[in-house]
Amino acid sequence: MSLDAQYFADLYADSDDPWAFRTRWYERRKRDLALASLPRQCYERVFEPACANGELSVLLAERCADLLCQDLDATAVALARQRLAGVGHARVEQGHLPGDWPGGQFDLIVLSEIGYYLDPTDWLQVIEQSVASLAHDGGLLACHWRHPIAGCPQDGREVHALLARHLPLYPLLRHEEADFLLEYWSCQPTVVSLDETCP
């Protein structure tokens, strides 16, 4: 069973940064690695579910023309909206995956620290929705903590194992450390972009 909204409401009741995204060096470094792993300087349309308080979102906004962020928790949505205030091409919506998957095509989907909160059935649906929503040259970035998390139906290794088995995409990058796993898959076997400017 996937974790319900109360789990996250309880986390945000105690802190507006329950995972210390703003203050931990581990989190800042992981964001830098995630951004550096993107093979294209700019993406047209990006989807980031489970955006939390928007720390990664504000950096993704610098690399795209249109950013859609989503989170299950109302407090997280409010915090991400504050973080992205003034960024006209970014919006944050409240939604629960896999049921509230947005319409349209995306050039990049970022699945960061989300998979282990979903049971394998729901995670497989997210994988299928991701594939169906990618543009012809789109990419998918996934990054997850590798260790078990109390109460979560999966750990990061299981999450990425399901991605590897069910993504009909080309694996372009894999960065594995003791604590997290970062991977990028593409609809095309290579991604070469000579465009050095963002829209």
Instruction: Tell me, letter by letter, the H, E, C secondary structure of 84-132.
Output: CCCCCCEEEEECCCCCCCCCCCEEEEEEECCHHHCCHHHHHHHHHHHHH
Q: In total, how many domains does the chain have? A: 1
pLDDT in tens, 45-76: 999 999 999 999 999 999 999 999 999 999 99
Q: pLDDT-derived band of residue 188, with 50, 70 and 90 as boundaries?
A: very high
User: What is the value of pTM for the model shown?
Assistant: 0.92
- Structural domain contains residue 193: no
- Structural domain contains residue 143: yes
Domain limits at 147? 5-186
Find the length of the chain.
199
Pick from 102, 106, 182, 178: which is nearest to 137 by CA?
106
pLDDT in tens, 126-181: 999 999 999 999 999 999 999 998 889 999 999 999 999 999 999 999 999 999 99
User: Structure tokens of 26?
Assistant: 């581990």
- Structural domain contains residue 194: no
Q: What CATH number does residue 48 fall under?
A: 3.40.50.150
Contact (Cβ atoms closer than 8 angstroms) between residue 16 and residue 76: no
